[in-house]
Structure 1
Amino acid sequence: MPDKAALITRRERMLGRNMSLFYEDPEHLVRGEGVWLRDADGRRYLDSYNNVPHVGHSHPRVVEAITRQVSALNTHTRYLQDIALRMAQAVTGRTGAIATNHTYPGNTATEL
């Protein structure tokens, strides 16, 4: 596993300095399970920020659903397929255009 300094240097070279990290001295996270994250040295951190309020990291039902989908088709919305439409309808209950404002990822007023 690369050391943290080498990983930061490589990240800056490949993604640019504008793709900033959360912290000046970031943790090198390698695994998440439930509400816990682990760094490259095995230290455990309670994650009360990223994904945990939803279902936690590595939730078995989410992992199984992702595995099932990518086994059939692993693409994005630039190709014609209906998974994004079915997901949007399942989440919102709507069948028309769905706009998001000030969300991540994406930009203001992106339509699905």
Structure 2
Amino acid sequence: MAEFSTKVKMEQVKCASGDPITVLRFAGDITSSSEPAVLGTYNGLSPETSKRILLDFSKVEYLNSSGIALIIQLLYAASQKGQKVQTFGLTPHFQKVFTMVGITKYTKLYPDEAAACAGFE
């Protein structure tokens, strides 16, 4: 199986409240080789201007246990910095996996971006 690289695009969006929200849009595969893209992008965010973060998994094609560990590291770091994180775009299978491994302690799971934005209100 050919492994596709991880792409992470960072955007600032405004939800209904008008406050800026940082969105990390993941694409491709998230595996152990994704650390520079996933954690590197997250670590480049300013905690002062990125108080609220959305994680978009809608274009993720493959996510293994090492990739889940990277997401847990990101969520733990965000909780330590007082950042709020909402997650959307996961397949039903990965919603179940995220719930089973306890990721929902650090983030709520939503079906789409609008619902995740509303979760900050």
Does TM, scored on the shorter chain, surpass 0.5?
Answer: no
Greater RCO, CA 8 A, separation 6+: 2
Structure with a larger share of its residues in helix: 2
TM-score, normalised relative to structure 2: 0.21
TM-score, normalised relative to structure 1: 0.22
Structure with a larger share of its residues in strand: 2
